[in-house]
């Protein structure tokens, strides 16, 4: 599929990404999320079912499987 970004000639590729989101003010990172990624501009598309899966996963998850260091850009 062609990239949605104006002027970009890239085609989305199936990849797994590290998805970062904010939930109730907390930064949450989910690894190995299937997504469509444009190799040229880096635009990322998540399928609606993937977004739904993440929401369900976060509802059920109590303890994370791992934690990551988080640094502020200062």
10 contacts Zn ion (rule: CB under 5 A): yes
Q: Which residues, in sequence order, are bridge partners of residue 35?
A: 15
Residue choice 29, 41, 44, 46 for contact with Zn ion (CB under 5 A): 41
d(CA 46, CA 32): 12
Residue 15: CB atoms within 10 A of its CB come to 13
Taking the complex as a whole, the smallest distance from the CB of residue 9 to Zn ion amounts, in Å, to: 8
Rank residues 28 and 44 by Cβ distance to Zn ion and give the closer one: 44
Q: How many CA atoms are closer than 13 Å to the CA of 30, on its beta-carbon side?
A: 18
Q: Which residues, in sequence order, are bridge partners of residue 37?
A: 13, 44
Residue choice 21, 40, 57, 58 for contact with Zn ion (CB under 5 A): 40
37 contacts Zn ion (rule: CB under 5 A): no
Enumerate binding residues for Zn ion (CB under 5 A): 3, 5, 8, 10, 38, 40-41, 43
């Amino acid at each position: 599929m062609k990239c949605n970004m104006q002027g970009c000639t890239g085609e989305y590729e199936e990849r797994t990404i590290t998805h970062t989101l904010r939930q109730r003010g907390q930064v949450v990172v989910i690894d190995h999320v299937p997504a469509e990624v444009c190799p040229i501009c880096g635009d990322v598309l998540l399928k609606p079912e993937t977004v739904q899966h993440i929401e369900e996963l976060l509802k059920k998850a109590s303890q994370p499987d791992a934690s990551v260091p988080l640094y502020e850009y200062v």
